[in-house]
Structure 1
Amino acid sequence: MSEVLALDCVVIGGGVVGLAVGRELAMAGRDVVVLEAEPMTGCITSSRNSEVIHAGLYYPTGSLKAELCVAGRQKLYDYCRDRHIPHKRCGKLVVASNEAEVAYLEKLLKQAEANGVDDCRLIDSAELACLEPHIAGFAALVSPSTGIIDSHRLMEAYIADIEAHGGSVVLNSPVLGGELLADAVRLSIGGRDPVEIEAKLVVNAAGLSAWTISEGMLGLDCKTIPERHYAKGCYFSLTGRAPAERLIYPVPETGGLGVHLTLDLAGQARFGPDVEWVETIDYDVDPHRAEKFYGAIRRYWPNLPDGALQPAYSGMRPKVAGPNGGGAGDFVIQGPEATGHPAYAALYGIESPGLTASLAIAGRVARLASR
């Protein structure tokens, strides 16, 4: 039998949340190794999203999404400023395309205020036309604290912090299985140099693969693993100039926030994501889905030209609630008490606003693991 490598902390998953958790633990003085199955960090869910810094408007008051988004948003803006990470507090508008949807905006404003988001306001169609002349609507909710970020530069900064505090990130290291021991977790790691490791703390932050990792963990009570659902979202890029300076969102749909206009830091516009509930993971973008995009976008940008949309990319949302359960679901963040084992923590359903909340999520995981 090969020698077992003894470690202090192992974080499974090198996406933005796994890296944030690794950073938090390393800065707390733990000896941390982040394991990433892919050849590079952040190349799955963390690189297939809108790169939006969310304000925290939509989530039920008292939910982890609401709490950690609002707390994480300010932490993230401060971190970006201190570390010179490219970002922009561009703001966003949630647009009511008809009179009936205005009631939703009023409800959303109250929800935002209950969550601690205190800078939103409602505007009428005349002020909307002044702010964004190409955008049409009966009214809109203005969210000044919404922004955009270079997620790859953010992850590079997290990695730099991990390494500066003695930790490491190891690529091409898939977790093939594990076992819960009395006070440690043993993991079988594949790749070019397979190895058995034993850690005093393992944090499963594997995103889409979090369920699979836990299902392969001998000794873990399967009742601690929540439901698993996948919601695929496609994006289309715009050929030509962006019609707005702010992000433009419609009234949300089941499982997502609707096909919205987002901008990258160069000002290029893209639209998405839509919502397609799927059983398996694939990232193909069907060009025919553009037909529905044109209809959805023209509700708030009537002059979208024919032929202006091109397939861009797609992403998968890891969810703990499916369409029959409303499609929302909260973050599931289990410390050792919730998993039932002193050395194992697990995160499930870390979808949007996971990037925004990454620093706050990491702080919560570190607190739970230290109890």
Structure 2
Amino acid sequence: MDRVDCVVIGAGVIGLAVARALALEGREVLILEEEAAFGQHTSSRNSEVIHAGMYYPAGSMKALHCLRGKRLLYQYCRERSIAHRQLGKLIIAVDDSEMPRLVALQEKALVNGVTDLTWMDKRVLAEVEPGLHAHAALFSPSTGIIDSHGLMLSLLADAEAAGAQLVLQARVSGGRESDDGMVLFVDGEELLAGTVVNAAGLTAHVLAAKMRGVPHETIPRVRYARGVYFALSGHHPFSHLIYPLPEPGGLGTHLTLDLAGQARFGPDVEWINRVDYTVDPDRVDGFYQSIRRWWPQLAQGALSPTYSGIRPKVINEDKPEGDFLIQGQEGHGIRGLINLFGIESPGLTACLAIADEVLRRCRQYW
């Protein structure tokens, strides 16, 4: 049986960041990805936003890792010349009735350590974003956008330069605990690994259930929230990201800009039971209705369907807002196995911070 020091299952942005951290630590690292290329799911089907960290419950993994990850990510982008832009974001109250929620969001941001938000009233907004119809806004100067593919290429290059190896179309169908680590079942063969990081994203909970010895009750319930995106054809007047107030399951149907300045809207929220990236063009009606609340000039027929993404959300009856779950031996009882559950937004922003946390937990096994 072949043996390797560390195996990372999944080559999304989280798996690649973890593999990089382990390889830079001097460990032998094998990255196993069942698709034909890296980053084919959540990592490449999102808004490509670097989040500031104001939305998440105080003390949550999302809040802590987003705030630290944002600083690490901007620094990494500068050092590696990864395309990004710190555009800033406007979180808007369309009318006076939404002001209490916007005030509450600022209070949550302060608790989380996000201290750079500033208020813009209707007069200032008319100067900053003349096309925007809103009563007031919170401006987040540290929000930005990033080339997610460029980021993943750089993470992989760093990992490979430190000795890591990526194996594509390598499907892990389960595993079992042994005296020397974890035995993984990979395409009908067995592979012994001293440390295993389950970064399988949308199917991390499914894979964990196939690991013999992992107690069923330690695997969280996960729901899929699909969000579709629509692109804008033609000109738009905006220079910042525009976000309405958050809604259940997401941050609202917002406007993001890509690095070329093209506008897209989304995601919305649709709860589904399986991985399915179908984009229903009829959902555009809800987009027009939502967007015209703050951009009445949006022309009929200007939106066209582009793609969808799926967020794996950990469901905890005691916590209405799902959190990241980084689960080691203390959670499931198996030495050398770390499961990453519910790594959705702001996972892209938090990828380097999450990798540092996984590295810290792995060190106790070495």
Q: Shorter-chain-normalised TM-score: which range?
A: over 0.9
Equivalent residue for 2:357, pick from 324, 341, 364: 364
In 2, Cα distance between equivalents of 1:182 and 1:195: 19
Contact 1:134 1:301 in 2 (8 A): yes
Equivalent residue for 2:32, pick from 24, 32, 35: 35
Equivalent residue for 1:63, pick from 48, 60, 63: 60
What's the Cα RMSD here?
1.2
- How has the CA–CA distance of structure 1 residues 325 and 255 changed in structure 2, closer, same or farther, with 3 Å as cutoff? farther
Write the mapping of 1:227-242 to structure 2, written as runs, cut at 5 A.
227-242=221-236
- Which 10-residue stretch deviates more, 87-96 or 109-118? 109-118
The residue identity in structure 2 corresponding to 1:83 is R
The residue identity in structure 1 corresponding to 2:199 is A
In 2, Cα distance between equivalents of 1:213 and 1:299: 42
**Alignment match, 1:351:** 344
Structure 1 residue 327: Cα displacement? 5.8
Write the mapping of 1:259-270 to structure 2, written as runs, cut at 5 A.
259-270=253-264
Contact 1:5 1:195 in 2 (8 A): no
Contact 1:336 1:369 in 2 (8 A): no
1:201 aligns with 2:195: yes
For residues 45-93 of structure 1, the C-alpha deviation after alignment (integer angstroms, 9 at most, x for no partner) is 1110000000001001100000000000000000000000000000000
Equivalent pairs counted in the alignment come to: 364
1:149 aligns with 2:146: yes
**Alignment match, 2:103:** 106
TM-score (norm 2): 0.97
In 2, Cα distance between equivalents of 1:203 and 1:167: 14
Structure 1 residue 253: Cα displacement? 0.6
For residues 131-160 of structure 1, the C-alpha deviation after alignment (integer angstroms, 9 at most, x for no partner) is 111011010010000000000000000001
**Alignment match, 2:267:** 273
Q: Secondary structure of 2:348's match?
A: coil
The residue identity in structure 1 corresponding to 2:201 is G
Report sequence identity in percent. 54
**Alignment match, 1:336:** 329
Q: For structure 2, which runs of at least 5 residues remain unmatched after alignment?
A: none
The runs of 4+ residues in structure 1 deviating greater than 4 Å are 324-327
The residue identity in structure 2 corresponding to 1:211 is H
In 2, Cα distance between equivalents of 1:120 and 1:84: 27
Equivalent residue for 1:308, pick from 286, 302, 307: 302
1:287 aligns with 2:284: no
Equivalent residue for 1:249, pick from 233, 239, 243: 243
Contact 1:54 1:73 in 2 (8 A): yes
**Alignment match, 2:134:** 137
- Which 10-residue stretch deviates more, 172-181 or 138-147? 172-181
- Which 10-residue stretch deviates more, 96-105 or 46-55? 96-105
Structure 1 residue 182: Cα displacement? 3.0
